Amino acid sequence: MARGTLTRRSVLTLGAAGLLLPRFGLADAVSANRRRFLFIHCAGGWDTTACFQPNFGSSEVEMEPDATQANVGGITFVDHASRPNVRAYFDRYAPQTCVINGIEVQSITHERCHRIMMTGSADGETDDWGAILAGESTEHHLLPYLVQSGTAFSAAHSRGVVRVGSAGQLSRLLDGSVLTEAEGQYPLPSAARLAQVDAFVRARMAAAAPKSPIASAATLALSDAESFARYAGQLAVTNTGGGCYQLEKNISSVWDVFSEGLARTALVKYSGWCSEGWDTHTQNERQSRHFDELFQMLGLALDDLATRPAIGGGSLADETVVIVLSEMGRTPRLTPVGGRDHWTFTSAMVIGAGVRGGQVVGGYDTSGFGAGCDFASGEVSVSGPGISAANFGATVLALGDVDPGEHEPILAVVG
């Protein structure tokens, strides 16, 4: 099946196969295509037993001492006194949140797992979910896929990927400081010369504009560029620093860009509390600090999102989906040095517009392996297939009204 916006034929075909819910079709295509997506990558591999995987009572899964199983708003999770922000988040945002458990990534190396989790394939010529959603959008965006931080994968949709750069290189290119700071000290044109160039470009664009009230792509691009200029400096600042609370700043700058209609998708990397990293082969208690800060920052970001106006009216929260993931999980048992090694099963959260929240989809068996799942109900099923990274990605694409192709989406997630 060719990938693209869901058509009547593909809707009927999938519906006949039992792959689509009755509400997911042409009536919602416009609003779904306008959804914006933020991907938050928790780099290094998180310990699902510290949050998403309450395998209490299993002799093969070593759970954290003093941790308990809790359920808030339909979300079952691992509760612990050291992570009060996890419970606080679910107290507020469980109805908008779906947890997907037991996603298989089929590898234990960071780079390969990252690619599989983001693209559904280890093939180096595959676009990630953000690139596809941006590339298949029917709307114009100056920065279709904004990579604020982290690694994105692109092939067919490479032209739409805009990388801010680890040191704010994009903003430095726009304001010219990259030239003055370069080793060669290249002189910038004078202000008068820049004004002449600007006037020439505007005149040519005005002459090319159609004689109708509908703005041309060129006019839209100029308007978008002026909007982006207001946030260029902030993008640079929020992307250069590390340390605690950096995630909130990075997400806030993405909300700025989304509010202006400049991008459809964005990617932010989160390296844990004070950027210590999630790859905890020793001192596994660091996972607790990472999860507590992650959920604190996520709650603040969603509070902020609800106050942001969307470019077409209403709240930005009404058209934004947040995907929080890590490229792998960690082994069910601790190692002799108090850490956990790499594991081929992980979890993810999908939050916001179009998401059927207040539920956990999929699960883990008593050994810590991903369980089978009924994709229609989301419940664990002995006879159901396991959840692959490709199924997870197909679900995200379906939320954006993009044909998931050959991979089956988990329609229990689609509200």
Task: Give the Cα separation of 91 and 75 in Å (integer).
Answer: 10
- 44, 110 in Cβ contact below 8 A? yes
* Percent of the chain surpassing pLDDT 70: 80
**Range of lowest pLDDT (71-85, 127-141, 221-235, 242-256):** 221-235
C-alpha angle 27-14-384 in degrees, rounded to nearest 5? 125
Work out the mean pLDDT of the chain and round it to a whole number. Answer: 87
**Fold for domain 36-175+235-399?**
Alkaline Phosphatase, subunit A (3.40.720)
What pLDDT score was predicted for residue 244? Answer: 65
Mean per-residue pLDDT, 349-369 = 98
pLDDT-derived band at 396 (thresholds 50, 70, 90) equals: very high
What pLDDT score was predicted for residue 197? Answer: 85
pLDDT-derived band at 206 (thresholds 50, 70, 90) equals: confident
Between residues 151 and 2, the one the model is more confident about: 151
pLDDT-derived band at 28 (thresholds 50, 70, 90) equals: low
What pLDDT score was predicted for residue 325? Answer: 98
pLDDT-derived band at 164 (thresholds 50, 70, 90) equals: confident
Mean per-residue pLDDT, 302-310 = 96
Mean per-residue pLDDT, 173-182 = 68
- 6, 401 in Cβ contact below 8 A? yes
**Range of lowest pLDDT (38-42, 112-116, 122-126):** 122-126
What pLDDT score was predicted for residue 194? Answer: 83
Between residues 191 and 293, the one the model is more confident about: 293
